[in-house]
A and B are shown apart, each in its own frame.
Chain A
Amino acid sequence: AQSVSQHNHHVILSEAASLELGCNYSYGGTVNLFWYVQYPGQHLQLLLKYFSGDPLVKGIKGFEAEFIKSKFSFNLRKPSVQWSDTAEYFCAVKGGTGGGNKLTFGTGTQLKVEL
């Protein structure tokens, strides 16, 4: 079955630092990839998604992610984080071998941005 790994569980950064969060999935084939954000006490909201085309996708709030098919990766980046980016970030995958329409999430990365 499809699985998703997020390597960083807790990340602490100072404001204006650059961010990169890793995400790898296990099975290939045609996949749709997502990053969701969950602000404290809130529900999950979509940051960005990749379906096809340009492997570098831009999302809301200055986030971007790069799909590298050969590495089964979809890392999230932001050049300069803000205090308001403090949240839980989830990578998710749909499709791929053994995936189907099931949306499989990684374990999440808790980001804390300090002033």
Chain B
Amino acid sequence: DTAVSQTPKYLVTQMGNDKSIKCEQNLGHDTMYWYKQDSKKFLKIMFSYNNKELIINETVPNRFSPKSPDKAHLNLHINSLELGDSAVYFCASSSGLSQAFFGQGTRLTVV
């Protein structure tokens, strides 16, 4: 069983569209994250949820809206996609100060 799974793995879409990426973890962790990795491999945290509650919201355009229906799921919805949104988006989960486990990533390409 995959510990942190995110779908889809690849997403190609046109500018202006709205899309969602889903993430699920089966590790029983209480904290989930979304990271954006740009073309230079720089990893930037976008959001963090703890027990369904938003605890970190970095400077991210409000076109990005996370949703956590329960503590095992953290989805990312993006409105009005722009070219600059093209990146790899990683979901991760952890518990307390322990290590984070990462999903396989979603490569988003906006054309």
Contact = CB atoms under 8 A, between A and B. Distances in A.
Contact of B97 (A32, A38, A42): A32
Contacts, number: 53
Interface residues of A, number: 24
Q: Is the interface of B mostly helix, strand, loop or mixed?
A: strand
Given A43-B103, A102-B56, A108 B98 contact: no
A101 B41 contact: no
Interface residues of B, number: 25
A67 interface: no
A74 interface: no
Contacts of A51: 97
A90 B5 CA distance: 21
Interface of A: 32, 34, 36, 38, 42-46, 49, 51, 88, 90, 92, 94-95, 101-105, 107-108, 110
